[in-house]
Amino acid sequence: MSGLGFEILARSGPARRGRIATAHGQFETPAFMPVGTAGTVKAMTVEALSAAGAEVVLANTYHLMLRPGAERVARLGGLHAFMAWPGPILTDSGGFQVMSLSELRRIDERGVLFQSHLDGARHELTPERAVEIQRLLDADIAMVLDECAPWPIEERAAADSMRLSMRWAERSKAAFEPRPGRGLFGIVQGSVYPALRRESVEQLSRIGFDGYAIGGLAVGEGPERMLEIAAATAAALPDDRPRYLMGVGRPQDIVAAVGVGIDMFDCVLPTRSGRTGQAFTRHGVVNIRNARHAEDPRPLDEACPCPACARHGRAYLHHLARTGEILASVLLTWHNLTYYQGLVAELRRAIEGRDFEGFRASFEAERAAGDLAAP
């Protein structure tokens, strides 16, 4: 197999149900990728990830280049062996983390020079180095280096930023070494300006990538505007390549984005929420720390097969969260990831049945009913 394999198996309006084949197996789309920033999805073993239904995970170039170092991971057999995850891995290129976490010293045509948020050491990240790090990690899907523009941003500044990212994308593609079952995604930029997004799509399509990500959204522009830009961008992208909406992870936003033709998602929301006592259910978000759960023996969600729901009631989970027990983070994270994987599985089935709109109506009705207190 040369590069990635992608096939669209069914459609329901713009919504697509597909399959991506990689060097480390295939995964079904729409797909949600749990975020394993530093080579681990927080509070989860790889066995738990598989049990929750995850087929592909995300790791991050920035964090792994700083600790333990890409060359070390390569010497130890690559990221799959290092973290004992046998399935596909997508690695973000690190551009967002460079802009948001580090002290930026320089950004220019060459790349970015920054100080580590860990120890202040100086590092340079160029498009070529970002691709090299992802090759050393042995990512199945690598991302081009891009500049993540701040929000809000004026159109002229957004244009300059986007065009720099497009030049970096061309260099990233030139540096990428094609290997069986591995691919490189371009990233569409342009903030909330439709003309800039169209220009970015045209440039990336000309260069040619195995898939296309939509970046620079969910940064403060609001969900309605985010969906509007995502929909217009997805419609302009090549139909025969996967489409990935970066960093978008509220369940309602995933459903809406699938409805406009997006295939892949990632977000820290389910894992971060699990560590703060928040649980996602068919009826909305449950704050398990609230007093109303203290004597409630019911599971978080009667339909959920995860250990938190199958073995424990809300009262016990409430107790764990209120006393700061580590098990609360484990169980709630496991539950949230099970919910997310169940959601995308239901979306796939709905698209296969040509009934995406029917699924969306029932999804919204269940959420509107809310999480009722125990009788």
CATH number of the structural domain spanning residue 61 = 3.20.20.105
Helix crossing, 356-369 with 326-352: angle to 10°?
140
Nearest-5° Cα angle at 217, 216 to 223 = 170
Residue 149: per-residue pLDDT: 86
Backbone angles phi, psi at 68, to 5 degrees: -90, 0
Domain limit, last residue, from 188, 215, 236: 236
Cα 133 to the center of its chain, rounded Å:
19
Could you tell me if residue 244 is inside a domain? no
In a shared domain, residues 80 and 226? yes
Could you tell me if residue 359 is inside a domain? yes
Domain boundaries, position 134: 40-236
In a shared domain, residues 331 and 185? no
3-state secondary structure of 101: coil
Closest Cα to residue 55, out of 141, 176, 172, 147? 141
What is the domain count for the chain? 2
Residue 2: per-residue pLDDT: 62
In a shared domain, residues 205 and 303? no
Domain limit, last residue, from 236, 263, 296: 236
Tens digit of pLDDT at every position of the chain (375 positions): 469 999 999 999 999 999 999 999 999 999 999 999 999 999 999 999 999 999 999 999 999 999 999 999 999 999 999 999 999 999 999 888 877 777 777 999 999 998 888 999 999 999 999 999 999 999 999 999 999 888 999 999 999 999 999 999 999 999 999 999 999 999 999 999 999 999 999 999 999 999 999 999 999 999 999 999 999 999 999 999 999 999 999 999 999 999 999 999 999 999 999 999 999 999 999 999 999 999 999 999 999 999 999 999 999 999 999 999 999 999 999 999 999 999 999 999 999 999 999 999 999 999 999 998 776
Domain limit, last residue, from 207, 236, 265: 236
By annotation, the residues acting in catalysis are 92, 266
Identify the bridge partners of residue 112 per DSSP, sorted by sequence position: 107, 125
Nearest-5° Cα angle at 265, 261 to 267 = 150
In a shared domain, residues 166 and 288? no
Q: Where are the extended beta strands (E) located within the chain? A: 5-12, 15-22, 25-29, 31-33, 57-60, 89-92, 103-107, 112-115, 122-125, 141-143, 183-188, 211-214, 243-245, 264-266, 278-281, 284-287
Cα 96 to the center of its chain, rounded Å:
13
In a shared domain, residues 232 and 278? no
Backbone angles phi, psi at 331, to 5 degrees: -65, -40
Could you tell me if residue 10 is inside a domain? no
Q: In what order do the strands lie in the sheet with 89-92?
A: 31-33, 264-266, 243-245, 211-214, 183-188, 141-143, 89-92, 57-60
Report the distance separating Cα 226 and Cα 254, nearest Å.
Answer: 12
Residue 193: per-residue pLDDT: 97
Quote the DSSP letter at residue 247. Answer: T
Residue 100: per-residue pLDDT: 79
Closest Cα to residue 16, out of 360, 245, 250, 350? 350
In a shared domain, residues 69 and 119? yes
Report the distance separating Cα 234 and Cα 260, nearest Å.
Answer: 7
Residue 1: per-residue pLDDT: 43
Residue 96: per-residue pLDDT: 83
